[in-house]
């Protein structure tokens, strides 16, 4: 409990400068869409760590820098909630997913779900994903301007379906494409201006996408209830807490929709960024390839974790382009953050990506420099929250170790089987309306390595 009487009196949130109010209704939304880091830098210069901003008809508070982010994410004062803020951003489309739960309910669901991410299960998921990766990459041949992002998204959805669901054998490829589209529509609801289920709106497309996803998972639910297997869907159907608590059907469906979105969207973003920078830095690409060639075609989770150069590259790419650049919270009571009073009911934007590019903590933060994470430098230790791609506090990403294993498994197969290049001057045109992705599909010049060897069939 914080003794507010013993604390210095907090300052009121500063008023928004007239020039910072942006457009009517939209506010600064277009500035964010163009380049959120430029917008945040201006906010930092104008207001400091705790900054007001107008976006889509309302005033938000933006927390900038690792000190402010740490204070809100750790939430020691129990003053911030996830559910109300995320519900405003992406509405009912990921309702009841773990990210939307708070307090005791969140802890209960997280405790049950942790059994699906034990070391033994992560090792089993890693073994299961190798064939799916090999099958997908068989279709990646020599191509100039190969659009990697959509191909990666299709691959990661296939991995998630096989690994988390045990496959979807009676779902056609065309229907899987529609499932992929449904996930995209639900995520992109975040940029919706008209937040009603109306035709030709983001909200309307997301509403239809959510219905399709529910039908998809409910179709497979009875078989997963009836049979125990090692896939996550079955695990969620059968696991119990120490007190014998289990998930009902609605809980299982809600968690599967959220987990599959998180598992394949964020991994796609990380892989796409890694392909870009390794294509622009062939020395690092070869350094990573040499380590992968020293392993067999289907390494264990422990062997993937031992790929030191690939680990450095992954961390640097998560710094340069965090798959989730901001997270949101709502103040449930008046609360002081960094000496500023935030009123109850205020939605707060926490900005991990901004911390990742602050020159206070990083040497030449705009440069691709994986060695900054190496044992001789460890720039990420400049502050506990200088590098926070997986969030922090009780809501820190439950699947981060699965995501790391998946990304390294895909890159391991790519490095052994392919070479690629990207123009050194290329700058990805990032769409920032929701989770960031390259508008041009992330083109690379791809070549198959003829000496590539598949794993056992």
pLDDT tens digits along 189-226: 988 888 889 999 999 999 999 999 999 999 999 999 98
Q: Does residue 64 surpass a pLDDT of 90?
A: yes
Q: Residue 121 contacts by C-beta under 8 Å, 6 or more apart in sequence?
A: 115, 230, 235
CA atoms within 13 A on the CB side of 361: 23
**Which residues does 389 contact at the CB level (< 8 Å), separation at least 6?**
318, 319, 322, 323, 324, 352, 356
Q: Which of 88, 25, 32, 87 is nearest to 57 (CA)?
A: 25
Give the C-alpha separation, 169 to 224, whole Å: 13
pLDDT at residue 264, rounded to an integer: 83
Q: Is residue 98 within 8 Å of residue 255, measured between CB atoms?
A: yes
Taking 50 as the threshold, does the pLDDT of residue 2 lie above it?
no
Average pLDDT, integer, range 449-457: 63
Chain segment 138-175, per-residue pLDDT in tens: 999 999 999 999 999 989 988 888 877 878 888 898 99
| Residue 73 reports pLDDT greater than 70 | yes
Q: How far apart are CA 256 and CA 269, in angstroms?
A: 20
Burial per residue of 4-17, b for 16 or more beta-carbon CB atoms within 10 angstroms, e otherwise? eeeeeebeebeebe
Name the phi and psi angles at 167, rounded to 5.
Answer: 95, 170
Q: Is the model's pLDDT at 308 over the cut of 80? A: yes
pLDDT: which is higher, 7 or 301: 301
Helices (H), 144-201: 148-165, 173-188
Contact criterion met (CB below 8 Å) for 274 and 317? yes
β-sheet bridge partners, residue 335? 342
- Domain covering 92-314+391-420+442-448: architecture: Orthogonal Bundle (1.10)
pTM: 0.91
Q: Which of 48-52, 121-125, 368-372, 384-388 has the lowest mean pLDDT?
A: 121-125
Which residues neighbour 422 within 8 Å (Cβ) at sequence distance 6 or greater?
A: 275, 276, 279, 280, 443, 444, 445
Percent of the chain topping pLDDT 90? 69
pLDDT digits (tens, 9 = 90+) for 260-289: 888 788 999 999 999 999 999 999 999 999
What integer is the mean pLDDT of 90-119?
A: 89
Q: Which of 315, 284, 270 is nearest to 415 (CA)?
A: 284
Q: What is the mean pLDDT of residues 43-64?
A: 92
């Amino acid at each position: 409990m914080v003794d507010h009487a013993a604390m210095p009196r907090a300052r009121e949130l500063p008023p928004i400068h007239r020039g910072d109010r942006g457009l009517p209704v939209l506010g600064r939304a277009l500035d964010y869409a163009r380049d959120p880091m430029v917008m945040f830098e201006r906010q930092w210069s104008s207001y400091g760590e705790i900054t007001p901003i107008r976006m889509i008809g309302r005033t938000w508070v933006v927390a900038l820098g690792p000190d402010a982010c740490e204070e809100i994410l750790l939430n020691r004062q129990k003053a911030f909630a996830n559910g109300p803020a995320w519900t405003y951003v992406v509405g009912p489309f990921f309702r009841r997913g773990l990210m939307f739960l708070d307090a005791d309910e969140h802890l209960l669901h997280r405790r049950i779900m942790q059994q699906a991410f034990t070391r033994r299960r992560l090792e089993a998921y890693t073994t299961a994903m190798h064939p799916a990766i090999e099958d997908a990459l068989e279709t990646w041949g020599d191509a100039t301007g190969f659009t990697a992002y959509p191909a990666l998204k299709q691959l990661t959805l296939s991995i998630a379906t096989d690994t988390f669901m045990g496959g979807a054998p009676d779902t056609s490829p065309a229907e899987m494409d529609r499932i992929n589209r449904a996930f995209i529509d639900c995520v992109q609801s975040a940029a919706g201006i008209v937040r009603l289920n109306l035709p030709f709106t983001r909200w309307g497309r997301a509403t239809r996408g959510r219905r399709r996803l529910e039908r998809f998972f409910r179709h497979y639910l009875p078989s997963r209830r009836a049979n125990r297997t090692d896939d996550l869907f079955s695990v969620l159907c059968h696991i119990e807490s120490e007190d014998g608590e289990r998930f009902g059907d609605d809980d299982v469906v809600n968690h599967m929709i959220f987990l599959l979105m998180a598992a394949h969207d964020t991994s796609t973003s990380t892989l796409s960024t890694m392909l870009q920078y390794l294509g622009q830095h062939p020395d690092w690409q070869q350094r990573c390839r040499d380590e992968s060639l020293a392993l067999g075609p289907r390494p264990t989770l422990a062997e993937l974790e031992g790929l030191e150069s690939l680990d450095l590259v992954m961390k640097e790419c998560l710094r340069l382009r965090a798959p989730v650049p901001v997270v949101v919270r709502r103040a449930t009571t008046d609360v002081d953050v960094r000496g500023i009073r935030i009123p109850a009911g205020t939605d707060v934007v926490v900005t991990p990506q901004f911390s990742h590019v602050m020159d206070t903590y990083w040497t030449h933060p705009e440069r691709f420099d994986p060695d900054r994470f190496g044992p001789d430098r460890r720039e990420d230790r400049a502050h506990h929250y200088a590098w926070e791609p997986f969030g922090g506090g009780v809501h820190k990403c439950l699947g981060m170790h699965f995501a790391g294993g998946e990304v390294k498994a895909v890159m391991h197969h790519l490095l052994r089987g392919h070479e690629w290049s990207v123009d050194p001057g290329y700058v990805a045109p990032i769409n920032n309306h929701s989770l960031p992705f390259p508008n041009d599909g992330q083109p690379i010049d791809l070549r198959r390595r003829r000496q590539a060897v598949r794993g056992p069939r």
